Amino acid sequence: MIILAKYKLIPDEVNRNKRQVKSEEKSICPICLSEALNVIGTRNRRAINSNGEKLIIVIRRLKCSNCKKIHHELPDILVPYKRYLSKCIEAIIDGQGGRISCENSSIYRLKRWFKGIEAHIKGSLASIAAKMNSAIKMGGESSLKAIKTYVGNELGWLARAVRIVANTNNWVHTRFAFMA
């Protein structure tokens, strides 16, 4: 899994809910840090925006010619394995999901998902910060507060946190990691 921060979403000429992702950055293999990634295909990734509209995002499959691992390249509007756009999930976590067209059961599940993963995100950010000799030191704050301290608490904090964790090969599929 590789998360892009610089890209364009190109509307499809036939299907108006479909977008091609055009990367504007050089992806690096999260496993071996090689830049030798070859595009081996694409995949349609379904997503739901804040109006409840269904989108199809065409993402690239990349194969690292060094370690041979295959990675999907996601724009940072997406969160790995989640349908709702990152900004919708972020609003729900921040208690501002009222404007999002999302069923209560989905809101409940997304909140529960974040509760299950927030300590892992915090821990990953903390270990990366320590390797970079960051001056940020965490005390007994909540995981959410700590995450926002690492990546900044302005809008888009979830996308920034997900990008750092995924691109350093620290993302986990929560269904297997926490809910088994």
Q: Which residues bind Zn ion (CB under 5 A)?
A: 29, 31-32, 34, 64, 66-67
Closer CB to Zn ion, residue 70 or residue 179? 70
Give the tokens for residue 76: 């940072």
Shortest Cβ distance from residue 26 to Zn ion (Å)?
Answer: 14
Are the CB atoms for 14 and 30 separated by under 8 Å? no
Closest CA to 83 of 62, 104, 53, 116: 53
State the minimum distance, in angstroms, from the CB of residue 168 to Zn ion: 13
Choose between 67 and 130: whose C-beta lies nearer to Zn ion. 67
Q: Which is nearer to Zn ion, 36 or 179 (CB)?
A: 36
Nearer to Zn ion, 32 or 136 (CB): 32
> What are the backbone dihedrals phi and psi of residue 144, each rounded to the nearest 5 degrees, phi first?
-60, -45
Name the minimum Å distance from CB 74 to Zn ion. Answer: 17
Q: In angstroms, what is the minimal distance from the CB of 102 to Zn ion?
A: 36
